[in-house]
């Protein structure tokens, strides 16, 4: 069994309360996050060593339960094979049990599951819980877009930061140097606590007081990555790719500022902004599928390509483009955002046998 520390903490000035972390989600990025976090909680005295990770239970081809295999091997054999998560990570298939004792909740699931997860967690978390979202995407409702951090805050009555950045999970898993940005609303002290929880020598995290700007970067860049993939698939060259990325960054900034007047220009110079855009447009899955889409002249749908190329992972750019398109249309802003609009239009055109993207 893991060397976990479940001692009750005595809350005196000499012994301030320890923070207890639970990760809600255990996909590729969630597993890497658990590795980062577990390497810190075991070293830093202000955190409990044990990190709980809620795992959506699956039965593996071997007949074993995924959680059992993670707890026996310290490895998420399905979503992050070959990487040790740390012996202090404990997989738990029971969502309510996983969050019960935690006062630092890390949300990292596909964004479409968050509304359901929040509903299940109402009244089940600690009063002093803090949350952070690593989720890219937003829920679009009739009344407009709702950021995932807002959904979490509103549904669970907690303060919710976000962590975004140039973070291809498999590269961080093998400890290649990366940066990330924590976006926070008002409480700098909590932001610093999250920075401490995630930072390692190969993962440099900084804090930025602009939660909406940071979160929108993480969401909107996936649309730009689709456009960058088209450029790659059509062999349009580096100048065009850079131009598309620049125009994309400009639309990201413009839309973020229209949606939230508090968004700062400087956020787009952080890892969550220009760096994440670069990483995603160089190597991410949205770019890759869009490249294949363009190479096939739009004759194969994104659903098809996603099923073939992503082994069960979800392509966020296409759905984000659709959601953003709805917002732009509802607000009468379509013409102000030609790149976002065109990406959605290309993604949803019916296939034509004679078309070259």
Encode the chain in three state secondary structure.
CCCCCCCCCCCCCCCCCCEEEEEECCCHHHHHHHHHHHHHHCCCCCEEEEEEEECCCCECCCCCEHHHHHHHHCCCCCCCCCCCCCCCEEEECCHHHHHCCCCEEEECCCHHHHHHHHHHHCCCCCCCCEEEECCCCEEEECCEEEEHHHHHHHHHCCCEEEEECCCCHHHHHCCCCEEEEEECCCCHHHHHHHHHHHCECCEEEEEECCHHHHHHHHHHHHHHHHHHHHHHHCCCCHHHHHHHHHHHHHHHHHHHHHHCCCCCHHHHHCHHHHHHHHHHHHHCHHHHHHHHHHHCCCCCCHHHHHHHHCCCCCCHHHHHHHHHHHHHHHHCCHHHCHHHHHHHHHHHCCCCCCCCC
Instruction: Kindly tell me which residue out of 256, 271, 286, 316 binds its own copies, with binding defined by CB under 8 A.
Output: 271
Nearer to its own copies, 140 or 225 (CB): 225
Q: Does 304 bind its own copies (CB under 8 A)?
A: no
Nearer to its own copies, 37 or 180 (CB): 180
Q: Is 27 annotated as a binding residue?
A: yes
Instruction: Kindly tell me which residue out of 212, 276, 291, 323 binds its own copies, with binding defined by CB under 8 A.
Output: 276
Report yes or no: 113 and 95 within 8 Å, Cβ to Cβ: no
The residues that are catalytic are 221
Q: Does 243 bind its own copies (CB under 8 A)?
A: yes
Q: Does 241 bind its own copies (CB under 8 A)?
A: yes
Instruction: Kindly tell me which residue out of 274, 290, 324, 346 binds its own copies, with binding defined by CB under 8 A.
Output: 274
Instruction: Kindly tell me which residue out of 11, 239, 261, 354 binds its own copies, with binding defined by CB under 8 A.
Output: 239
Nearer to its own copies, 28 or 153 (CB): 28
Binding segment toward its own copies, per CB under 8 A, in 59-67, 109-117, 161-169, 330-338: 161-169
Q: Is 98 annotated as a binding residue?
A: no
Give the CB-side neighbour count of residue 173, counting CA atoms within 13 A.
18
Per-residue contact string for residues 170-199; x = within reach of its own copies by CB under 8 A: -xx---xxxx--------------------
Q: Does 254 bind its own copies (CB under 8 A)?
A: no
Q: Is 237 annotated as a binding residue?
A: no
Q: Is 229 annotated as a binding residue?
A: no
Q: Is 312 left (phi over 0), alpha (psi -120 to 50) or beta?
A: left
Q: Does 201 bind its own copies (CB under 8 A)?
A: no
Q: Is 169 annotated as a binding residue?
A: yes
For residue 175, the minimal CB distance to its own copies (Å) is 10
Q: Is 316 annotated as a binding residue?
A: yes
Q: Does 136 bind its own copies (CB under 8 A)?
A: no
Instruction: Kindly tell me which residue out of 95, 242, 258, 357 binds its own copies, with binding defined by CB under 8 A.
Output: 242
Q: Is 199 annotated as a binding residue?
A: no
Number of residues that bind its own copies (CB under 8 A): 36
Nearer to its own copies, 11 or 238 (CB): 238
Q: Please give the Cα distance from 104 to 303 (Å, whole number).
A: 36
Q: Please give the Cα distance from 217 to 276 (Å, whole number).
A: 8
Instruction: Kindly tell me which residue out of 105, 134, 166, 324 binds its own copies, with binding defined by CB under 8 A.
Output: 166
Residues that bind its own copies (CB under 8 A): 166-168, 171-172, 176-179, 204, 236-243, 245-246, 249-250, 253, 265-266, 268-271, 274-276, 278-279, 282-283
Residues making up the annotated binding site for NAD(+) are 25-30, 56, 113, 169, 285, 314, 316
């Amino acid at each position: 069994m893991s060397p976990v520390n479940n001692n009750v903490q005595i809350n005196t000035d000499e012994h301030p309360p320890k923070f207890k972390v639970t990760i809600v989600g255990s996909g590729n990025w969630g597993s890497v996050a658990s590795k980062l976090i577990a390497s810190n909680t075991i070293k830093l005295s202000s955190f409990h060593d044990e990190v709980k990770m809620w795992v959506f239970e699956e039965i593996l081809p071997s007949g074993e339960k995924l959680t059992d295999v993670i707890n026996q091997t310290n490895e998420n054999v399905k979503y992050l094979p070959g990487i040790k998560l740390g012996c202090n990570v404990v997989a738990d298939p029971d969502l309510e049990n996983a969050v019960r004792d935690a006062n630092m909740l890390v949300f990292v699931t596909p964004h479409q599951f968050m509304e359901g997860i929040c509903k299940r967690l109402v009244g089940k978390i600690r009063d002093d819980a803090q949350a952070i979202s690593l989720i890219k995407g937003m829920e679009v409702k009739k009344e407009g877009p709702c950021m995932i951090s807002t959904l979490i805050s509103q549904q669970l009555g907690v303060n919710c930061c976000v962590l975004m950045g140039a973070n291809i999970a498999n590269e961080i898993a093998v400890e290649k140097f990366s940066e990330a940005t924590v976006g926070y609303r008002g409480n700098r002290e909590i932001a610093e606590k999250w920075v401490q929880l995630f930072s390692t020598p190969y993962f440099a995290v900084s804090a930025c007081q602009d939660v909406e700007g940071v979160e929108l970067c993480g969401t909107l860049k996936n649309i730009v990555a689709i456009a960058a993939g088209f450029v790659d698939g059509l062999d349009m060259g580096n100048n065009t790719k850079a131009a598309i990325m620049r125009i994309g960054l400009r639309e990201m900034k413009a839309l973020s500022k229209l949606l939230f007047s508090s968004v700062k220009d400087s956020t787009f110079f952080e890892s969550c902004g220009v760096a994440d855009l670069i990483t995603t447009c160089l190597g991410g899955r949205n770019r890759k599928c869009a490249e294949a889409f363009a190479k096939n002249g739009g004759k194969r749908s994104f659903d098809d390509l996603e099923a073939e190329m992503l082994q069960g992972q979800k392509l966020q750019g296409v759905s984000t483009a659709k959601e953003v398109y709805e917002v732009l249309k509802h607000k009468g802003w379509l013409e102000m955002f030609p790149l976002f609009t065109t990406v959605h239009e290309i993604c949803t055109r019916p296939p034509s046998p004679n078309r070259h993207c």
